[in-house]
Amino acid sequence: MLSEIDKSDPIALHEQVASQIRRAIADGEAGPGERLPLARDLAAVLGVNRNTVLRALHMLRDEGLLEFRRGQGIKVTGTRQKSDLLAQVHELVATARRNGYRKSELIEMIEAVKG
Amino acid sequence: MLSEIDKSDPIALHEQVASQIRRAIADGEAGPGERLPLARDLAAVLGVNRNTVLRALHMLRDEGLLEFRRGQGIKVTGTRQKSDLLAQVHELVATARRNGYRKSELIEMIEAVKG
DNA sequence: ACCTATTTGTCCGTATGTATG
DNA sequence: CCATACATACGGACAAATAGG
């Protein structure tokens, strides 16, 4: 379930929107092959501008989660698992930033994990 | 608060132990400079062998979270923030594994995050 | 300088689980 | 289904470093 965006949050609005949609897919609210609501409607529900929503959706397309087709709308292509993973990745990077760690340090930590 | 280890969990015991202690530090239950309970006592509380606990603690030492001194015990050296980050890193890698993603793919995802 | 208690470091042997062929 | 190999976990024992009397 999508909830309204917090405009006082220092995190950019389109990032918040992207996070919510990632989570929604991860939670199974929209499965692979399904069509997403219109950007206009998403914008209305989330209380932000349609351009902000589009910016977020384009990010998710770059992550391999969505597919755009003119006149056809936006289709989910990624799996719940992938969406879940991407959500965790973004949360991790956000935590790192908050605490002054760089992505490179994060990557070192991951590489140090055995297996 | 540390709770008993789940021996039916497919995750290796020493990994579970390490996760719990990372979380405990992240939650502020043991701050920098403070001494950790004896490995023997941790083992008793967690319901595992002392060697298993030591193996977990050595991992945390390699991560820069702990410092060992024979006869003196184990001291916390890492910050809550770092421990929190490391905990998230390990959770992320675990999620990835569960879903068949490799660490290299995870790293690509992180590098693709803007900023 | 010595001795003792404490606590981590390390290794052994064994049992068990898991993956592979 | 069986055999093999490998990693994990346990229990126990002893070594090594530190602190204090």
pLDDT at B53 over 80: yes
**What CA dihedral angle connects A42, A45, A51 and A56, to 10 degrees?**
-60
Q: Residue B93: phi, psi to the nearest 5?
A: -60, -35
CATH of the domain at B108: 1.10.10.10
pLDDT score at B6: 93
Q: Which 3 state secondary structure label does DSSP give B34?
A: coil
Look at residue A2 and tell me if it is in a domain. Answer: no
> Is residue A8 in a domain?
no
Distance A110 CA to D16 C1' (A): 34
Structure confidence by residue, pLDDT tens digits, A59-83: 999 999 999 998 889 999 999 999 9
Indicate if the pLDDT at residue B115 is higher than 80: no
Q: Which amino acid, A57?
A: L
- pLDDT over 90 (residue A52): yes
CB-CB contact of B92 with A92 (8 Å)? yes
Instruction: Please indicate, yes or no, if residue A5 is contained in any of the structural domains.
Output: no
Among B97, B100, B113, the residue with its CB nearest the CB of A89 is B113
What predicted TM-score, i.e. pTM, was given to this entire model? 0.88
In a domain, B38, yes or no: yes
pLDDT at A89 over 90: yes
Tens of pLDDT, residues A5-31: 888 888 899 999 999 999 999 999 998
Domains contained in chain B, number: 1
B10 touches strand C (CB under 7 A): yes
Longest distance between any two alpha carbons in chain A, whole Å = 47
Mean pLDDT in residue range B64-71? 96
The boundaries of the domain holding residue B61 are: 13-112
**Cβ contact (<8 Å) for B112 and A88?**
no
